[in-house]
Amino acid sequence: MDLKNKKLTEAEFLSIRKEVLSGWVTGKDNELDLTKAVEYLKQVPDHKNFALKLNLAKQNNVTMVQPRAGVPELEEHIKLLQYLEECGADFVPSTIDSYTRQNRYNEAQKGLDESIEKHRALLNGFPVVNHGVKNCKRVFESVNVPIEARHGTPDARLLSEIIHAAGWTSNEGGGISYNIPYAKSVPLEVSIKNWQYVDRLVGYYEERGIRINREPFGPLTGTLVPPCISNTVMIIEALLAAEQGVKNITVGYGMGGNLIQDVAAIKSLYYQTVEYLDKFGYKDMEISTVFHQWMGGFPQDEAEAMALISYSSTVAALSKSTKLISKSPHESIGIPTKEANGLGVKASKFIVNMLRDQVMVDSDCLAHEIRQIRKEVDCLMNVVLEVGEGDLAVGTVLAFKQGLLDIPFAPSKYNAGMVLPARDNEGMIRILEFGNLGFDEEIKEFHKKKILERAKSEQRKVSFQMTVDDVYSVSKGKLIGRP
């Protein structure tokens, strides 16, 4: 493995860059000239800079709202973002279609052409590479808030070049979080390397005084992911990004459903990210948090979906996460119309504004859960570093290979897929089957005890059926999938 957690030299970076830009015709645009790009980015006003606006929010202790949204046609996409801005979105996204995510630019082109021809979306997002820098600048210049690219791309190098050169100052993803949940057969060392490049690009701009935000994707598979697992992934990706010169990082978490566990997860995520960055010597880091509204299966009923959106926002506001990613009442059906998407933004904004001056107060329960998550994360981080003999990138690859790190319900064959989660009797997400997960015995005992409590109260055996029931339960209006 020639992978290493080490900053690419500028020469290395620039030499890979040539190859990257040849990936599709839009890579040849002369706006991708780095001097030009730096110039363009320097003119981005502060209120349209993702990193600066996040810093301000964090300083004021308020939660910013950002939806997900992307349609194939340029003009439609612009209208969509403008509409969401009007609805109160503090940040707008551009969600990228799934062909682009797999670097299948030919298919993306077909989908784009047919979408334009039929004036009906055949792609599930904005095919950013096919659109190229020019169109992306059009998007950027059409709104008054910062833009982030949101995707799920194991190899997002060309994509990242294009969006940043176009003034988009945030990019979601990471070598683990945009591979394991989003791919089947991309080796982890490949995606980590790709994302080292993406981070190095941000580092390049950083060296030239341009602050760009990076956001590892916290929810992973969005399905019953125990906080310790996603927080560990977040910390690893933050460290990998910092090594490449990234300074402004937003670590994420997808709502689990138990209020205490969710607040504990956000709090420990923040504390521990800062702690580890510090421990590894990364200075002047700007860390914020993002809370994702419920990422699993949504209820079909739109009133129920609005309730779930509002409840998710309540948790985000009480946890004082810096950003909140909103969903729409169409979630369980399909890509939302702009109106449906706007409803989600408005409800979310209302809640975070309403709860602006309130926090989740300290309590023994909360403190206990924070301690528990911290302990579990420390345990996993140690295992990763140990197996990597001190190199975090290598450790990550080996830990996944051996199942020491393992993400539930992930499609990737580079993920062991042996961990099975289930809720405990209060609805907190615990682990039912550990596989080879790098937990010590004490932690395992704790999880077993918690799940047993539930099994007893439901008068049934601990089994995979619990996990299955929990996968469905929220969409059916219950947190815990009781028989």
Q: Which of the residues are catalytic?
A: 101, 172
121 interface partner picked from another protein, its own copies, ligand B12, none, CB below 5 to 8 A per type: another protein
| Among 241, 199, 182, 156, residue whose Cα is nearest residue 407 | 182
355 interface partner picked from ligand B12, its own copies, another protein, none, CB below 5 to 8 A per type: its own copies
Site for its own copies in 148-187 (CB under 8 A): none
Tokens of 385: 């570093």
CA 225/CA 223 separation, integer angstroms:
6
CA 388/CA 318 separation, integer angstroms:
37
What are the CA-CA distances from residue 24 to residues 28, 126, 191 (Å)? 8, 16, 19
| Closer by beta carbon to another protein, 264 or else 335 | 335
Binding site for another protein (CB under 8 A): 97-99, 101-102, 104, 107, 110-111, 114, 121-124, 152, 181-185, 221, 223, 296-297, 300, 330, 332-337, 340, 409-411, 464, 468, 471-472, 475
Residue 341 lies near ligand B12 (rule: CB under 6 A) = no
CB count, 10 Å around CB of 328? 29
34-42 and 157-165 helices, crossing angle to 10°? 50
Q: Nearest approach, Cβ of 347 to its own copies (angstroms)?
A: 4
CA 60/CA 249 separation, integer angstroms:
18
68 interface partner picked from its own copies, another protein, ligand B12, none, CB below 5 to 8 A per type: ligand B12
122 interface partner picked from its own copies, another protein, ligand B12, none, CB below 5 to 8 A per type: another protein
CA 22/CA 7 separation, integer angstroms:
23
Residue 425 lies near its own copies (rule: CB under 8 A) = yes
CA 195/CA 242 separation, integer angstroms:
12
Tell me the window of 55-63, 101-109, 313-321, 401-409 that interacts with its own copies (CB under 8 A): 313-321
95 interface partner picked from its own copies, another protein, ligand B12, none, CB below 5 to 8 A per type: ligand B12
What are the CA-CA distances from residue 401 to residues 37, 47, 388, 439, 460 (Å)? 39, 43, 12, 16, 34
Query: Contacts with its own copies: how many residues (CB under 8 A)?
Result: 46
Residue 62 lies near its own copies (rule: CB under 8 A) = no
Phi, psi of 200 (to 5 degrees): -65, -35
Build a one-symbol-per-residue string for 49-68: x at contacts with ligand B12 by CB under 6 A, - elsewhere: -------------------x
Residue 301 lies near its own copies (rule: CB under 8 A) = yes
Q: Nearest approach, Cβ of 227 to another protein (angstroms)?
A: 18
Phi, psi of 153 (to 5 degrees): -115, 115
CA 413/CA 460 separation, integer angstroms:
32
CA 483/CA 465 separation, integer angstroms:
9
Of 68, 349, 374, 430, the one binding its own copies by CB under 8 A: 349
Residue 181 lies near ligand B12 (rule: CB under 6 A) = yes
Q: Nearest approach, Cβ of 220 to another protein (angstroms)?
A: 11
Instruction: Output DSSP code: residue 387.
Output: H
Query: Contacts with ligand B12: how many residues (CB under 6 A)?
Result: 25
Site for its own copies in 357-416 (CB under 8 A): 357-358, 361-366
- Write down the residue that tokens 């001097």 correspond to: 35
Residue 23 lies near ligand B12 (rule: CB under 6 A) = no
202 interface partner picked from its own copies, another protein, ligand B12, none, CB below 5 to 8 A per type: none
Number of Cα atoms under 13 Å in the Cβ half of residue 229: 34
Residue 307 lies near its own copies (rule: CB under 8 A) = yes
What are the CA-CA distances from residue 402 to residues 2, 27, 264, 414, 418 (Å)? 19, 38, 28, 9, 11
Site for ligand B12 in 90-109 (CB under 6 A): 95, 98, 101
DSSP one-letter string for 127-196: -HHHHHHHHHHHHHHT-SS-EEEE---SS-HHHHHHHHHTT--EEE--TTTTTTTT-SS--HHHHHHHHH
DSSP lists the bridge partners of residue 215 as: 172
| Closer by beta carbon to its own copies, 285 or else 307 | 307
Of 49, 100, 115, 221, the one binding ligand B12 by CB under 6 A: 221
| Closer by beta carbon to its own copies, 88 or else 435 | 88
Tell me the window of 17-25, 110-118, 192-200, 291-299 that interacts with ligand B12 (CB under 6 A): 291-299
| Closer by beta carbon to its own copies, 93 or else 257 | 257
Tokens of 189: 């060392």
Residue 453 lies near its own copies (rule: CB under 8 A) = no
Residue 350 lies near its own copies (rule: CB under 8 A) = yes
DSSP lists the bridge partners of residue 287 as: 249
Residue 215 lies near ligand B12 (rule: CB under 6 A) = no
* Residues of the shown chain interacting with its own copies in the complex, contacts defined by CB under 8 A: 257-260, 299, 301, 303-304, 306-311, 313-314, 318, 342-344, 346-351, 353-358, 361-366, 425-427, 474, 477-480
